[in-house]
Amino acid sequence: MSLEPPSSGRPTGPPSGPLSGPSQPPSGPPSQPPGSGSGTPSPPPRRPWWRSAPRVAVLTTVVVAAVVLAVVFSRSGGGSGKGGEVFLQAAGKTGPEPFTQSTATDSSAPAVPASPATGSAPANAVRAVDGAAPGLYGGTRNVSSCDVERQIKALQAAPPKNNAFASVADVTPSQVPAYLRALTPVQLRMDTRVTNHGYRDGAATSYQAVLQAGTAVLVDGHGVPRVRCACGNPLTPPVAQQTTPKQTGDSWPSYRPSNVVVVTPAPQIIDIFVIYDPDHGEWISRQRGDTGHHDHRTEPPAKPSPSVSVSTPTAPSSPPSTCASSPGTGTGTPSPCPSTSTSTSPSVPSPSSEPPSTEPGTTEPASPGDTGTYSAPGSSTT
């Protein structure tokens, strides 16, 4: 059949043969464009990046990872971007977002006159004290600064709070009672920076805080504060402040940013805490995990003033002044002032923090309940 069109120039029907050409691409190499000559053939055109499955998959993974990290940091990093803030918490106040009602039996701040801040260290300097240092903590002989059993009952009466507490303490919910009983009740003798954890919307929150001297706390076997008894909140070590922190919350006359310390874990488990009793002007020894029933007087330590090592993000500077001494009311040894030395001790890790903005009052009913076992780290004698 002839393939020539009719003489009229108007088509009278479809041409013979396939309408769309071959269904498979030609097996030979692609034809060269006109004028290309016999040189190297030009590369085929590149597909747009959005039509590349591997690239789209990689981009999707990156976006999803970024979203997940943002959610994680907003939940556990303690903030919505308000880095560099620290919340001041007075010793006797419950404070915002409490886990429980107060279980502190004594949160009276020691009568220590304000000491002048003559040091030149920046406000974000880290002043570290070893958790085993004698005189770092205080207390009254045969008196527990915290009612541990009341704390246990309050948490067990509110399972969601108990679960949130356990998540911060890194134990199972059933281990919380044993975990709390393994801690030691004492009082801070220096304004101390920590990461505090409140309870909001069914989960634990976190923010940087400075606890006033006199605050009743529970410390672990390495001397690190783990519970603030005035609110039942779990505590963890602080994070580093890369800039001068903005101060919010309470205030007290003796507060000086240059006198705030952080507690570093003792390298070995502490079997006996040597603490100072300002009410009687004496030194006492308290067994780890004991609530004061086995306290007894002891001789003043050879080095009664805990050493404070200072590290800063800049060149070393003159150490800040130590606290003023506070003589006891009795005839015993007067209260020591921590000595200060400048060193290059490592600073603590550095996520951001966000102080709480509200102060809801929460009271938990007490009910019995006590299950689970907990093996405190280093429970054997070291």
> pLDDT confidence of 126, banded at 50, 70, 90?
confident
Give the pLDDT of residue 311: 82
pLDDT tops 50 at residue 251: yes
Mean pLDDT across the stretch 88-109? 89
**Looking at per-residue confidence, does 45 or 189 come out higher?**
189
**Region 366-382 average pLDDT:** 48
Nearest alpha-carbon partner for 196 in 55, 63, 118, 79: 79
Q: Do 348 and 239 touch, CB atoms closer than 8 A?
A: yes
Confidence of residue 70 (pLDDT cuts 50, 70, 90): very low
Residues 6 or more apart in contact with residue 30 via CB below 8 angstroms:
41, 44
CA 288 to chain centre: 24
- pLDDT at position 306, please? 86
Q: Encoding tokens for residue 5?
A: 């069109």
pLDDT cut 90: percent of the chain above it: 47
Higher pLDDT, 334 or 44: 44
The more confident residue out of 352 and 358 is: 358
Reading the block at residue 87, the tokens are 């919340």
Question: What confidence score (pLDDT) does residue 338 get?
Answer: 42
**Higher pLDDT among residues 29 and 312, named by residue:** 312
Pairing of strands 85-89, 207-211: parallel
| pLDDT higher than 80, residue 329 | no
Of 50 and 257, more confident? 257
Is a pLDDT exceeding 50 seen at residue 78?
no
Three-state DSSP class for 340? strand
Nearest to 103 by CA among 216, 207, 17: 216
Helix axis angle, 148-156 to 159-169, nearest 10°? 120
DSSP 202: T
Residue spans of beta strands (DSSP E) within the chain: 85-89, 126-130, 137-138, 184-188, 192-196, 199-200, 203-204, 207-211, 216-219, 225-228, 233-236, 246-249, 262-264, 272-277, 282-287, 296-298, 307-311, 339-342
User: Given this model, what pLDDT does residue 4 score?
Assistant: 52
C-alpha closest to that of 216 among 258, 186, 241: 186
Total length of the chain: 382
Q: Residue 293: pLDDT band by 50, 70, 90 thresholds?
A: very high
Q: Can you give the pLDDT at residue 125?
A: 77
Mean pLDDT of 270-286: 94
83 has pLDDT over 80:
no
Q: How far apart are the first and last CA of the chain?
A: 105
Q: For the segment 6-62, what is each residue's pLDDT rounded down to a tens digit?
A: 554 555 555 555 444 444 544 554 555 444 445 555 556 666 655 655 555 545 443
User: Residue 160 pLDDT more than 50?
Assistant: yes
% of the chain exceeding 70 in pLDDT: 55
Is the entire prediction scored with pTM above 0.95?
no
234-247 mean pLDDT: 89
